[in-house]
Structure 1
Amino acid sequence: MILEDNDIQVKEIKASIEHQIRHPYLAKFIQNPVISEDKIMFLTTLVTQSDIPREKQKQYIITTMLVQIALDTHERVSISSASDSNEIEKKRQLTVLAGDYFSGLYYLVLSKLEDIPMIQTLASAIKEINELKMKIYNQDFATFAEVMEALKKVESLLIQRVASFIQRTNVNEVAGDWLLAMRLSQEQRKYQTREVAPFMELLNSSTFLKANGVQSLRMIESHIIKQLEKVSASIIELPYNFAPIQRYIQEQLHQTFHFKQQALEEG
């Protein structure tokens, strides 16, 4: 596949997903789900190298992304409080329903594919991701490193399971490190702009870290740099058929890595 074609395909798949998940009523009350182009890029590069029939490849990618969107949407559900207004409670309930709606779309698409092994692959990943999330938010980990490893799995497990399913696991390490760095960057940005950043809030209240907001931000920033350094070293080891991922990440690294490294040194 020509590299430029891969970029175009990512945009087309993202547009298809946006069309499928569009729901006028839900859009009035909850924010649109974030659709990760990073994850679409990984999936597109993986699936187009597989034995999956060409006419079904797009649906496999969309199905996996619908699972990701459903998981992400359920994660945005806030904890209820007796002092919450009716509007807040309504938004919370609609967010739950939105996650269920996206899950339903995933099952609908999968039923059309009639691929039982793929269904089992994704179902197993969903179960493990939800178990890891429960452990993270229940603070079942004793160290910062253990939490980071669990969050890495949460962010990359769907990609890695698909890679294993089609026997293209070369990309798993890069996917894990890169997607963790992107999740931490997202949490950092939301916390700094006073948006809901559940993972940052968890770190601030954790018994093992005992850090305030500023200290947590510094630890997150340092870990982002560490992950990006690992990606920068391992990306060049990927086989040539992963060239679309190599180029995509190298472009992102050029834009973000030096900026973040400079910010860390100045901070």
Structure 2
Amino acid sequence: MDATYIQESIEQLKTNIFMHVRHRTLLQYTGEPVLDENQLFYLLMPFLNGEKWNEQIHKSAITVGIVHASLSEHDKIDETNATSKEQQLTVLSGDYYSGRYYEILAQAGNIPLIKQLSEGIAVRCEHQIKVYEVNSLTLDNWYESISVVKTELIKRFYQVYGFEQYSTFMHTSLLLIQLQKELRNLQHGNKSLILEKMVESAAKEGQPLELLLQQKIDVLNDLLHEYLRSSTIKDELKLYIEQQISS
């Protein structure tokens, strides 16, 4: 196994997800669903590391990808133009993907995963809603919310199939990657609601957000490398994870 094999496995999972949600009209107006390859990698990490993997687990990984696609579509809604045809179809695409994921799991009789993902979606949405609330949160609170949004559904997938030993890598890496992205957005002036909230929280701590973000990134980077040094996962996966966080 090498980086090429890992990337091919991710692309194959992506293709399988697209096949299950392909709809001509939605494709025309909203394009392919948005999928995060870093999240897909962690869905496949147990398989890539040689864990027991069967058709049911593979279909479950596909459905988690579909749920991520559904939630990503809803995230794309522009509140200032929510009545346009494209925006309405974006809402419909998210709902359509949600229906497809329930259908696949129901057909397989996979009640445990349905339960876990339903709970995970609720938890994830609770954290996403926080950016619209007036409550004053600390930067650590925002880091937690970002982590939940990126990792909650994969954590639930791990719990159903006994892959919890990969959670430490997954949580640390996905939070690190997202904070690196937020730092770049901040440096390039790409505003978002979450960044505005984090700027306010940083100001209350008496430090610029850029400095505090970089400090958190450095801590997570050191922590992840410590996990990699002490882990028995395959060397190829360690190298891939290092490439993820350095890109």
TM over 0.5: yes
TM-score bracket for this pair, using the shorter chain length: 0.7 to 0.9
Cross-structure match for 2:241: 249
**Whole-Å separation in 1 of the counterparts to 2:187 and 2:99:** 34
CA separation in 1, counterparts of 2:22 and 2:192?
A: 24
Q: 2:210 & 2:29 partners in 1: Cα distance?
A: 30
Aligned-partner Cα distance in 1 for 2:26–2:197? 28
Within 2, Cα distance between the matches of 1:245 and 1:61? Answer: 18
Deviation at 1:51, TM superposition (A): 5.5
Q: How does 1:132-211 map to 2 (within 5 A)?
A: 132-190=127-185, 197-204=192-199, 206=200, 208-210=201-203
Deviation of the 1:181 alpha carbon: 2.0
Query: Does the CA contact (< 8 Å) of 1:17 and 1:62 recur in 2?
Result: yes
Instruction: Name the aligned partner's letter for residue 96 of structure 1.
Output: V
User: Contact conserved, 2:82 with 2:88, CA < 8 A, in 1?
Assistant: no
Query: 2:39 corresponds to which residue?
Result: 39
Matched residue type, 1:36: D
Give the percent of matched residue pairs that are identical in Structure 1 and Structure 2.
Answer: 22
Cα distance per residue 1:80-111 (max 9 Å; x no partner): 3xxx596xx33332222121111112112212
Q: Which runs of 5+ in 1 are unaligned?
A: 257-267
Aligned counterparts of 1:193 and 1:98: Cα–Cα separation in 2? 31
After TM superposition, the score normalised by the length of structure 1 is 0.77
Distance of 1:202 and 1:147 partners within structure 2: 8
Distance 2:212 2:58 in 1: 38
**Structure 1 pair 57–85 and aligned structure 2 pair: CA distance change class (3 A):** closer
Provide the residue aligned with 1:71 in structure 2: 71
> RCO higher in 1 or 2 (8 Å CA, sep ≥ 6)?
2
| Matched residues, number | 243
What is the distance in 2 between the residues matched to 1:27 and 1:173?
36
Contact 1:178 1:231 in 2 (8 A): yes
The answer to whether structure 1 residue 61 and structure 2 residue 54 are counterparts is: no
